Structure 1
Amino acid sequence: MLSGCFEDNDDNAIAVSDIKDFVWKGMNAVYLYKSEIPDLANDRFSTNEDYASYLAGFDSPEILFESLKYLPDTVDRFSRITDNYFDLQNQQQGVSLSNGLEFNLYRVTEGSSEVFGAITLVLNNSVADNLGLQRGMIFKAVDDVNLTETNFVSLLSQDSYTLNFADYDDNGTSDINDDIITLNGNSETLTKVQYTENPVHIAQTLTLSDNTKVGYLMYNGFNNNFENELNTAFAGFQADGVTELVLDLRYNGGGSVQTAAYLGSMITGQFTSQVYSKLFYNENLQDNNRDFLFTNTIEGSGAINSLNLNKVYVLTTNRRTASASELVINSLDAYIDVVVIGENTVGKTQASITIYDSANLAFEDVNPNHNYAMQPLVANSTNVNDELVPANGITPDIPLIEVRYALGTLGNPEEPLLAEAITDILGSGRSSDIQDRFMDFQLIKRDGLIHPLEQDMYIELR
């Protein structure tokens, strides 16, 4: 990596100037879209004075960072900066402050400012799990304040809050505009605590009516600390004689590229040493270009348990299935039949790396005067055929949305997305109401509540 095109000779610079200097030099060194940003050109400044004046023109490191992103609304929606890299490091290892609850938010009726929530996921052994909260539960207020489009961020971003639950009545029709959501007097108080998530949320084998053994894996994050747990899940599938696999990535925003390659190798096994995915860096870092290969071992842990499948079903959503999850779909699709059930994925084909304020941008010898770090996009990820994940996401083969009043129980054969996979495996046709269930237009974005690593794919130096 580069260290900038000239030395900063102001040894007495205040911490903010140090941070701005780190932001510019780090982006100049590694940013994938450097050539598209005139202010990142190596010859942008002729003197140290010009450079110092440029940095001084930004009120904060964050504003400088945002100014250096390429088309942030459409192309680079994912580069980020943090003022506390310790939180970032913990999050990458699956450790964060959490109450274990994930949810979707909806308008009560079309055009309404009133909002309600539906619990979509309760993490194992979390605060929410220990309170007995379950997927599908509805809430309409927090701390006895009804949710609206203007207050949901502040109410639900608190470290401690009380959910006020409601009953959902579809009024006996398929028209969601006449649905009724009524507070029922029940509530629970949730307080965030330090929590470590095992991303292997569910791993079970289902036996279908024709005795087909189907492995169902809900996998929520490509975390290298839990690669052995992932491999153990596939050992169980092997022992059960699994011949079909449903990989549930609907809440998996990504993670380690190498872990994604291990997962692809567990699903297959017949392509060892062939190219799984590729990374391409900017024009100044072409020596960093790298191929990730199918493999039969996990570095430092032993043999991979592989199913040698020629087909896999993947369950997706357009808010959470991103990055390394999309890499798995895109990479495997070049080799085997990948049937995607759900929604268009997020559309993140780029990988990032965490860089710090040090001579080589690594954590060693980091500047002790601040805790800033960046995760800029540094490489494009493709499959073996040099195909990118589309910017608008991967289109499902079977379009199916999670419906707020019929979420179902994860892992249950009757849960709508899993049921669709089972129906296809049995060859008994598709559900007649797929398109009806695809039109839930009241879902609103959770901007302000998105986890920092919810749509991430990062390169580990290991």
Structure 2
Amino acid sequence: MKIRSLFLSSLLCSILFTSCSDDMDDSIDDDVVTNPENVEIRDFIYRGMNEIYLYKSGIPELADNYFDNNDDYEDYLRSIASPEALFDSLTIPLDRFSFLTDDYIELENSFSGISQTTGVDYILYRFSNSNNLFGVVRYIIPGSNAEGTAIARGDLFTEVNGESLNVDNYTSLLSSPSVTFTIAEINDNEVSNTGEEVTIATTEITENPILIQDVLEVDGKKIGYLMYNSFVADFDAELNDAFAYFKSENIDDLVLDLRYNGGGRVSSATRLASMITGSNTGEIFAKQQWNDSYQNYFLATNPDRLFDYFTDNIDDNVAINKLNLANLYVIGTSSTASASELVINGLKPYINVVTIGARTTGKSQASVTLYDSEDFSRQNASPNHTYAIQPLVYESVNANDIVVPYTGIDPDVQIAEELDNFGILGDPSEPLLAAAIAKITGNSQAQSFAAKKMKINYQEFKERGASKPDYKRMYIDKVPGIRINN
């Protein structure tokens, strides 16, 4: 049985795209969300996953002939406790990246670099054999409330708003309207509080993903350094300007710092790769592999749709600034994912790509935002709720059909960020950048890059959950515009 929507809303947004979000929070029907007898949201989730999920064949319930009739289908939806439970049940166990959100307005903002934040970018660690957490400041977002305060890169914190961080309270504490960080330090291989507190109010900011652009002159070489933290299409012009700067400086080599870049829009990744090489316009940057229904459809109707090509321009046909590099040096860590890995993998068939740092995340798939409308587009989405799903829809391989390993990309030069020596981002002595420079110049005498043996037992804290998405992922900006299961 081909599933059709059983509960299409009679009231549809009549204004295009973003204006549908106006006063949305004031018009949500709580009964749609909380009443288990109301299956509108669950119907939307099922239809979306049944339509386009990359791993549809691995979920028996998503088979087109799974239900005998609409009554069986509706009974199935009513048997699921919540939208989150349904979504989780429709993803394969190895899928770490598909997610559900109950606030697509926040999701859309995140894709544009907009967030509610103190401006403190941090990473969380979990003490071994404990539910307690501590955070480490990675950088301060320029122009945020945190800029100019007494908190800086490399600072540790164990308490927020007077409470010790743990796996149960970290989300609510760190998303408070005002956040008080209790600063900590490492003493005798223990993390202990200093007693110093820094209070910062949360506000909405738009973060420029280009944190640093600079040219370093080392051993007679001009080395461009770009720290790029997210593939946000709204900043592609600024990215192009950064490459104009590198081009004007006639750099010899480029260090691309993606250590905190969890991904973003595929088109921005394609443009960045094109700026780096400049000589491969029209050649294949990446190939797309969809579920069987979509793959066969594209092969039969539009085979070119299955390829991402190196390009000559960004929006409004503005020419890209090309460096024509034969070598690229990429800094990556476990936070480097998705579109970042796409750039590394997509460039390898064409130029020499050297990776420095730690093993990356291991995400080769792209996703797309589906809304509760008849064709899953943003226009005419149901006004009764703000749920959206972000399922994986295709896997990328490079021109040589090589995929990013599930375990991540292993570095050519292995070096970790150490808790007691984060260094200053962009400074040639910062350990990861220093290792990249040493690889370029061949001079590794100035610094030892051997990892230190810390006696603190801790591990990076990551959580996969339908209601706790990490928005910085590889995605395409719109649904393909077709319906196969209709």
Whether the TM-score (by the shorter chain) exceeds 0.5 is: yes
User: 1:192 and 2:202 equivalent?
Assistant: yes
**Rounded Cα–Cα distance in structure 2 between residues aligned with 1:106 and 1:67:** 28
Distance 1:297-1:11 versus aligned 2 partners, 3 A rule = closer
Corresponding residue for residue 89 of structure 1: 108
Residues 29 and 12 (structure 1), Cα distance of their counterparts in 2 relative to 1, 3 Å cut: closer
SS at match of 1:195: strand
The one-letter code of the counterpart of 1:397 is D
What count of residue pairs does the alignment treat as equivalent? 445
Q: How does 1:191-340 map to 2 (within 5 A)?
A: 191-208=201-218, 210-286=219-295, 287-288=297-298, 289-318=305-334, 320-340=335-355
One-letter amino acid of the counterpart of residue 329, structure 1: I
Shift of 1:447: 3.4
Per-residue deviation, 1:455:
4.5
- Of 47, 55, 58, 2:80 maps to 58
Q: Deviations over 1:29-79 (max 9, x none)?
A: 0000111111001111111111111111101111111110012xxx21111
Q: 1:49 aligns with which of 47, 71, 83?
A: 71
Deviations 1:359-384 (A, max 9, x none): 21111121222221110000001111
Give me the whole-angstrom Cα distance separating, in 2, the residues matched to 1:20 and 1:376: 15
Q: How far did 1:124 drift?
A: 1.2
1:5 aligns with 2:21: no
User: Which residue of the other structure, out of 62, 65, 77, is the alignment partner of 2:96?
Assistant: 77
**Cα-Cα RMSD:** 2.5
* Corresponding position of 1:98: 117
CA contact (8 A) 1:92 1:453 kept: no
Report whether the alignment pairs 1:377 with 2:392.
yes
Measured in 2, the distance between the counterparts of 1:142 and 1:247 equals 33
> Does 1:410 find its partner at 2:425?
yes
Cα 1:439–1:257 change in 2 (3 A) is farther
User: Counterparts of 2:9 and 2:337 in 1: how far apart (Å)?
Assistant: 43
Partner of 1:172: none
Partners of 2:202 and 2:57 lie apart in 1 by 42
Instruction: Read off the aligned partner of 2:158 and give its amino acid letter.
Output: K
Q: Residue 39 of structure 1: SS of its match in structure 2?
A: helix
SS at match of 2:227: strand
Q: Distance in 2 between matches of 1:452 and 1:150?
A: 16
Classify 1:17/1:406 alpha carbon distance in 2 versus 1 (closer, same or farther; 3 Å).
Answer: same
Using the TM superposition, name which of 24-33 and 114-123 deviates more: 114-123
Unpaired runs of 5+ residues, structure 1, are 170-177
Q: Matched residues, percent identical?
A: 42
Q: Does 1:434 align with 2:469?
A: no
- Alignment partners' CA distance in 1, 2:177 and 2:464: 14
Deviation, 1:183, is 3.0
Q: Cα distance, 1:116 vs. partner?
A: 3.5
Alignment match, 2:24:
none
Secondary structure of residue in 1 paired with 2:225: strand
- Assess, with a 3 A threshold, how the Cα gap between structure 1 residues 41 and 103 changes in structure 2: closer, same or farther: same
| C-alpha contact (below 8 Å) 2:117/2:175 kept by paired residues | no
Distance 1:403 1:151 in 2: 26
CA contact (8 A) 1:8 1:48 kept: no
The structure 1 residue matched to 2:358, chosen from 333, 343, 348, is 343
Q: Tell me, which stretches of 5 or more residues in structure 2 are unaligned?
A: 11-30, 33-37, 299-304, 480-486
Normalised to the residue count of structure 1, the TM-score between the two structures is 0.90
Distance 1:382 1:407 in 2: 34
Match of 2:193 in 1: 183
Per-residue CA distance 1:169-225 (angstroms, 9 max, x = gap): 4xxxxxxxx3244433322112211111110110111011x2211010000100000
Alpha-carbon offset, residue 280 of structure 1? 1.4
Give, as a single letter, the amino acid of the residue that structure 2 aligns with 1:201.
L
Once the 2 structures are TM-superposed, how far is the Cα of residue 274 of structure 1 from its aligned partner? Answer: 0.6
Q: 1:261 & 1:103 partners in 2: Cα distance?
A: 28
Q: Say whether 1:460 aligns with 2:472.
A: no
The residue aligned with 2:20 is none
| Residue identity matched to 1:354 | T
State how far apart, in whole Å, the 2-side matches of 1:9 and 1:414 are: 61
Counterpart of 2:162? Answer: 144
TM-score by length of 2: 0.86
- The amino acid that maps onto 1:340 is T
Mapped contact 1:78–1:455 kept (Cα < 8 A) = no
